Chains A and B, each alone.
Chain A
């Protein structure tokens, strides 16, 4: 088969046909081209968005977190004595939670917050003060820029020390010499032992800094808040976060934790769990709708192009009936004619599709540029876009080719 070069001859024939009818062929290829560009563009725009989101989550300190927060056991009505006696989320919950799956958990952090008057030599503001414990700093994507983090002893004893975010540092110490200075939170004098790195993230270029509020942080040891600001005998906390890098272990752990905490809380549902990765996945699956819309518009472009191609092919077939007749007279079978027409259509599809990939890249580049996110394309998108065009090209070539192959040789020869 290969030795006779029949395929090569068909390819040459198809190329000659395309070159001879350049206008018509360009029109035919255009349908494929636009379809491929639309599919590829759609894919890469949603890929770029997704990639950007992933970058944002990494900067936020990762998705592999399970947050536990207190919740009112009842929404309305008069609470029962039991409900009134609810214990709330406590330090003890964090400790026993960690004991559940010590292997899978890579970090536990606690938060005990308060609002308080914060006073320095330069400013006097009512501010949120974040009491942090455990691995809060890495878990939330913070890094110490100047000075140092809290030592274990400081954490344990609730030492009067503070680390400031860049905004807080600038507000309370505008001269930039925050380190070693002293602040008053409520009545408690605290010493600045460090500042955090600035947190910056703009989803799109030119947008405001979405992480600006993270720079407002005023962090003190949780135990300081607990013991000297607004703590209570139960050592209640505002949030406990477990970090579990193995996302498969997450849902099992969440279930165990739920049972454990509920048992600890006298069977009260006074807390809620928030699996961050699952929440993000849910939100991304809503984003999948856009993928489907993009895909659909690409497919529709391909279908439209395909129908136009069938029409053009059928019209051009009329011009070529006699040629088909001649080929049949000298011994071409219907199969041979069919293959010839298919080769031509597939060659056009291949060329149009190839050009479409370039247009698709340009198209994606323009759109991502205009919405201000970096362009990100995966090889899979190229393969998909091309394969889809090829599939549609094949499908829509079948009918005209079949029609041509079924011509009667004698009638085709006499056709004027």
Chain B
């Protein structure tokens, strides 16, 4: 079976020759379908860059990246947007919900970009909100929700197009430990349902929840442990 993520010698260089910064220096990473992987590393290690490339927000300078069987390098901005839309679900530390759209419309948005019809969009969005446990807030604005609830909305939105990969960047960073734990429970549940999860964190206790931990340091994979 093809892995969800497969990178070879992934390198990212910022800036011009003189002042070039090598954010990634050759990452070889494979994530199989259904895995729950934690990406850890101190700030400046390159884990955000790696996350951006894995999420198709950015392209590697050198190296190849295959996401769910699709070669990513060399694609145009429009094609990348399509891949992000169909194959990747993002969950951010700061939720990044659109403040002026209701909860249900926030969840519908990825489906809108995918061209899903209005009725189906609404049904699926409501089902997803049901799944993350906040169906009753569908018509509220994000500002009226608590942090934990907002993150649940973000998870529902990330799942909207049945992505091959769920990418979570410090999803509990802005939450207190109790609600953080609840959100993590939600992730574990999603993993059990067969979703592939990549969780970026600097907190070892959170990383411990994952099947596998990959530590990035100075743009390279320093330690990889757990089931490969």
Contact = CB atoms under 8 A, between A and B. Distances in A.
A358 to B, nearest CB: 28
Interface residues of B, number: 34
Interface string B155-181: 001101100000000000000000000
Given A322-B96, A331-B161, A333-B113, 15 more contacts: A13-B101, A17-B100, A325-B96, A326-B97, A329-B57, A330-B90, A330-B109, A330-B113, A330-B158, A332-B85, A334-B77, A335-B78, A408-B58, A413-B57, A413-B96
Interface in A2-24: 3-6, 8-9, 13, 16-17, 20
Given A4-B116, A9-B112, A332 B81 contact: yes
A328 interface: yes
A333 B86 contact: no
Contacts of A238: none
B47 interface: no
What is the size category of the interface that chain A forms with chain B?
A: 20 to 34
A4 B117 contact: yes
Given A4-B118, A326-B96, A409-B57, A331 B78 contact: no
Contacts of A3: 117-118
A16 B101 contact: yes
B81 A331 contact: yes
B212 interface: no
Interface string B36-56: 000000000000000010010
B152 interface: no
A198 interface: no
Helix, strand, loop or mixed for chain B's interface? helix
Interface in B19-68: 52, 55, 57-58
18 contacts: A3-B117, A4-B116, A5-B112, A5-B117, A5-B118, A13-B100, A323-B98, A325-B96, A329-B84, A329-B96, A333-B77, A333-B82, A334-B81, A335-B78, A409-B58, A410-B52, A413-B57, A413-B92
A-B pairs, 10 with minimum CB distance: A331-B85, A333-B81, A5-B118, A410-B57, A331-B113, A326-B96, A16-B100, A330-B110, A410-B58, A409-B57
B15 interface: no
Nearest to A326: B96
B115 interface: yes
Contacts of A6: 112, 115
A336 interface: yes
Helix, strand, loop or mixed for chain A's interface? helix
B114 interface: yes
A329 B84 CA distance: 7
Interface in B112-143: 112-118, 121
A148 to B, nearest CB: 80
Nearest to A405: B77
A4 B114 CA distance: 9
Interface in A327-386: 327-336
A15 to B, nearest CB: 10
Nearest to B120: A4
A32 B199 CA distance: 49
A327 B98 CA distance: 9
A343 to B, nearest CB: 13
B8 to A, nearest CB: 21
Contact of B86 (A5, A331, A409): A331
Interface string B187-200: 00000000000000
A288 to B, nearest CB: 49
Given A323-B98, A410-B52, A410-B58, A331 B84 contact: yes
- Please indicate which of the listed interface residues A4, A16, A20, A327 has the most CB atoms of chain B within 10 Å of its own CB: A4
Nearest to A322: B96
Contacts of A332: 81, 85, 113
Contact of B84 (A4, A8, A323, A330): A330
Interface string A57-91: 00000000000000000000000000000000000
A336 B52 CA distance: 21
B115 A330 contact: no
